[in-house]
Amino acid sequence: MRVRKHDLHDLIQKKLEAAGLSEEHADGVAESLAFADARGIHSHGAVRVDYYAERIAKGGTTLAPNFRFNKTGPSSGVFEADNGVGHVAARKAMDEAIGLAQETGVGIVGVHEMGHSGALAYFVKQAADKDMVAISVCQSDPMVVPFGGAEPYFGTNPIAFAAPRMDGEPIIFDMATTVQAWGKILDARSKGADIPPTWAVDANGEPTTNPHQVNALLPVAGPKGYGLMMMVDILSGILLGLPFGKRVSSMYTDLTKGRNLGQLHIVINPAFFTSLKEFKQNIAQMVDELHATKAAPGFSQVLYPGELAEIVETDYAEAGIPIVKDVYDYLISDTVHYDQYDHAGLFAEQD
C-alpha cells in the first residue's frame, strides 16, 4: 500500500509518543524516518519504528536528555547526547557544525553517547541546504566480518556526503561500508524476500540468500570496504573516547540501557576556499556532464552517486510511499511491543 509522506510522518510520531517520547522528539524522529522512506531508503524508515518504540518504552532512550554542546576549539566541539534519540541529537549537532563552518570555514562536531540516528543523508542534506559541504560518519553494531576473518568485528559504519549545486537539489551520497546495510536485511525480512548471496554469510561463513540466516555481513569491495569501516570506527568511536569495534553495543542486547554510540559531522564552507557561486555552478556542470556520458549496455543514463534516491523521491511525491502491510498495520494499531526485540540475537533473531 502507499501512504503520503505527511501521513506517514504523523503515524510514526503518534506511535513514538505512545511509547513515551515527547512530542518534539517524536516529531524529529518521524521527520527523519519519513525522509528516508520518501527517498526509497526503506531500511531506515518506518520499518524501524517497532524497535525504536520498544526501546523507548523500556527506558533505553533518555526521554528528557540533557543535551549540551561543548566547544573545544574555534572549529570543533562535542555534542553530549545523553543517550537521547539519535535523530534529534545528530540534527542539533549538525546545526552546531554548520554554525562553526559559517564562522571559520570548517566545523567538526562529534556526537557523544547517542542512540541510533537513522539515515545519515538527512543530516548532510541539512548542511547542503545551507550552502555547505558535509561529511557524516557513525559507528554501528559489530556485525561485519573483517576481510579474511570469520567472525564479526566492525559495524556497517556508514559514510554520507552532500554538496550544494546551482538550480537543483543538493547532491547526496549515503553508503554503508558493507555490500548492503543491515537495514536492507530487515527490509527483505519484512517483505519475505531473499537477498543476493553477495550480501552476507551464515553461521558457517557461507553465502546465504535467506535474510533470517544472516550471521554476518560482508565489507564492500573486500579489503577496501574493510579499511573504510575501520576509518569510520576510529573517527566516530575512538576519537570521541567511546567503545569501538566489537565493544560497540548491540542494537538488541538490552533495550533498557542506552547505546552510547558516536557520530562525527565534518562541515566545510566552500566560500572560504573558492567562489560559492562558481562552486555550485561546477557541481551542476559535473552532474550535467555525467548525465551526458555515454551509457553502458543495459543503462539508459549515467546518474551521479545517490541520484536514484532523488528520482524515487519525485516519483513517491506523486504516487505515495510504498509501505509493507505489516509495518502499516503496526503503525495504525494501539500496540507498543515489549517483547519483540529485547535480548534478541545480533540480527534480531531470538536466542
Could you give the number of structural domains in the chain? 1
**Interval 9-25 mean pLDDT:** 98
Region 27-44: what's the mean pLDDT?
A: 97
**Which structural domain, as residue segments, surrounds residue 213?**
2-275+310-332
**Is a pLDDT exceeding 50 seen at residue 32?**
yes
Q: Categorize the per-residue pLDDT at 345 as very low, low, confident or very high, splitting at 50, 70 and 90.
A: low
**pLDDT for residue 348:** 63
The cell for 213 is 540466516
pLDDT tens digits, one per residue of 88-136: 999 999 999 999 999 999 999 999 999 999 999 999 999 999 999 999 9
Candidates 244, 258, 265, 266; CA nearest to 66 is: 258
d(CA 322, CA 324): 7
Residue 62 lies in a domain: yes
How far apart CA 273 and CA 279 sit, in angstroms, is 9
pLDDT digits (tens, 9 = 90+) for 274-296: 999 999 999 999 999 999 999 99
* pLDDT value at residue 130: 98
Residue type, position 126, single letter: Q
Give me the CATH number covering residue 189: 3.30.1370.60
Residue 90 has a pLDDT of 98
The rounded distance, in Å, linking the Cα atoms of 350 and 54 is 15
In a domain, 290, yes or no: no
pLDDT for 350 equals: 39
- Catalytic entry in 42, 44, 116, 265: 116
Q: What is the mean pLDDT of residues 237-264?
A: 95
Indicate whether 146 belongs to any domain: yes
82 lies in some domain: yes
Asked whether residue 351 carries a pLDDT value surpassing 60, the answer given is no
The answer to whether residue 295 is domain-embedded is no
In a domain, 293, yes or no: no
Residues 255-292 as b or e (16 or more Cβ within 10 Å = b): beebbbbbbbbbbbbbeeeeebeebbebbbeebeeeee
pTM over 0.85? The answer is yes
Dihedral sign of CA atoms 78, 84, 85, 88 in order: negative
Query: Is-catalytic flag, 44?
Result: no
